[in-house]
Chain A
Amino acid sequence: MFKQQHPTKAVSVLLDGRPSSLPGGMSVAAALLATGEIVSRLSPSSGKPCSPHCLMGICYECLMEIDGYQRQACMTEVQEGMVINRNILKNKEDQHEHAA
């Protein structure tokens, strides 16, 4: 979807239960978009996938669980060791399997 013009120093995070590497020095939302992860959450009202829309803290489409709290991914700088859960798998069982 996007390409990063200059690679930045990578950070290791736990993304949806899996160890992942994301580019550092930017917001969680930008780092996920840079690695092709465009879905930020499933809409709690429609169940449909969402992606970040405004990238400046307005739309809340990138709301995801970061280190235990629901945070706006576009307003949160990605950090080494972050635990990020988007809860984007369609049903609970998949979610559990994925985490295990």
Chain B
Amino acid sequence: MSMQHDAVVIGAGPAGLAAASRLAELGLDVLTLDEQFRLGGQIYRHIEKASDQQFRFLGDDYARGQILAARFRKSGAKYESSATVWQIEPDGSICYSRHGKSKRIKGSYIIAATGAMERPVPLPGWNLPGVIGAGAANNLAKEAGLQPDVPLVIAGSGPLLLLEATQLIKKGAKIEAILDTTPQIPPLSAAPKIPPALLRTDFLLKGVAMMQMIRRSSVPYLKGVTDIRCLGSEQVTGVEARQGDRTLTFDAKMVLLHFGVIPNTHIFRQAGCRMAWKNDQRYWHPVCDNWGRTNFERIFAAGDGAAVYGALAAEYKGELAALETARCLGILPEYERDALAAPLRAALKKDMYPRPLIDALFSPHFDATALPDETVLCRCEHVTVGDIRKVVAEGVHEVNEVKIITRSGMGPCQGRMCGPALAEIVASESGVSIQKAGLLNIRPPLKPIPLDEVATMDLGPDGSGPANLFKNQSK
């Protein structure tokens, strides 16, 4: 296969599929690299093999993925599954590993559509076997038709938590309690966000229906819960939490945690893209123009990886990035790009109406000071919140320095699970702003790969040697 493509799309979720389809339909040579072994990303996971029952159960929101997947297959876009991208460079070079071999290719343009991940929020016992993400449980249902058959507790905050709860109620799962950490009284900041949301009553009604279903079920639904703690030594056996001055305890063999979703930004940080802090949602995202272009001419960010707005918005943004890429490649004149973009921008605007309200209602309120010292922050290296506090008290106020001293973020996940909370803890303990506490530096390889793959890889015509692959990136 050729080493040079007009465009390389990274990720085969809604944004990646839409971008690749559009580019291929315009006659461009586009390669889609996806890390999963099946396309669809997380939202449309397993979409091409889903059973009728799954479609009935997951509804129209999921079925939309079928249209997207069919369009992608028909478009003629090249597609490689199980392809783990481990380095991108501003000149369009990409290194990726597939079936035990690494390759270096080049795209005139890169559209990175890496999607979102569940916000990792440490709490005591969150690393016990049996404690999994609510989104993870959802993935298991889509991918393998697995449904929990032990007593479980659902805890956290956000619309996806409630969605997962209603799905489990429908399936008759044994839910001991839903512990919602969202405050009992909605924040005042939510009020001005209501009028635009009213333009999308369809969306609001969905939320109302979810709440009704939860309230009508026999499952205890508790709001304003704090101090959640998973109990057990070798495996989770229960959950303890507080509601006001009441202490609650539940027996459970499984705990599903969810605290909203954040962009998956490692690839942008590795490339050296400029990042910005979104304060109301408390996450970092790459800075993009309204086509999704980052500060690098050849690197675009599309979908939830650029900022979390959901599957539909991701699809539109993938197309917008594709249109601008096509213009740059000389396929579309500017006026045609703009004409094709207009309906997408209108649809995007409509889709965004309820977002400020949702964001305000479920704004993250991570209280780093409430975490007990013994809470494991970095699961890979077993670094506790107390370890971080000690180092911060000694005067270290920047996350990369904290990482060097404590090893938090140095394990195989490369700070994906501890990074966001690490910054919150460092900022809150030291009193510096979260921007000043910083963001963990990300270096290639983005995912651990066997060294023999690097040693034996074909670097292409301009590759000089494996050592050059790891030459220092930004900073």
Contacts and interface: CB of A to CB of B under 8 A. Distances in A.
Interface of A: 1-6, 8, 23, 25-27, 30-31, 33-34, 38-39, 43, 45-46, 48-61, 63, 69-70, 75-77
Nearest to A45: B382
A55 B37 contact: no
Is the contact region of chain A dominated by helix, strand, or loop, or is it mixed?
loop
Contacts of B235: 38, 49
Contacts of B136: 52-56
B74 interface: no
Interface string B126-146: 011111110110011001111
Contacts of B450: 69
A59 B411 contact: no
B144 A31 contact: yes
B36 A53 contact: no
Nearest to B149: A3
Given A45-B382, A54-B118, A59-B379, A30 B132 contact: no
Contacts of B412: 60, 63
Central interface residue in B139, B144, B450, by most chain A CB within 10 Å: B144
Contacts of A8: 144-145
A57 B379 CA distance: 15
A70 B413 CA distance: 13
A33 B139 CA distance: 12
Given A43-B382, A53-B131, A60-B411, A26 B144 contact: yes
Nearest to A6: B145
Given A55-B140, A57-B447, 16 more contacts: A1-B130, A6-B145, A30-B143, A33-B140, A38-B129, A45-B381, A48-B234, A49-B129, A53-B417, A55-B139, A58-B118, A59-B417, A63-B412, A69-B450, A70-B448, A75-B37
Nearest to A47: B382
B117 interface: yes
B395 interface: no
Is the contact region of chain B dominated by helix, strand, or loop, or is it mixed?
loop
B219 interface: no
A40 to B, nearest CB: 8
Interface residues of B, number: 50
B269 to A, nearest CB: 15
A55 B132 contact: yes
17 contacts: A3-B149, A4-B144, A4-B145, A5-B146, A6-B53, A6-B145, A25-B144, A33-B146, A53-B133, A53-B379, A54-B117, A54-B133, A55-B140, A56-B139, A59-B416, A60-B380, A70-B448
Contacts of A23: 144
B53 A1 contact: no
A61 B264 CA distance: 18
Contacts of B128: 51
**Pairs A-B, 4 closest by C-beta atoms:** A51-B129, A45-B382, A55-B136, A26-B144
Central interface residue in A2, A51, A53, by most chain B CB within 10 Å: A53
Contacts of A26: 143-144
B311 to A, nearest CB: 15
Contact of A53 (B82, B132, B144, B234): B132
Given A45-B382, A58-B416, A3 B147 contact: yes
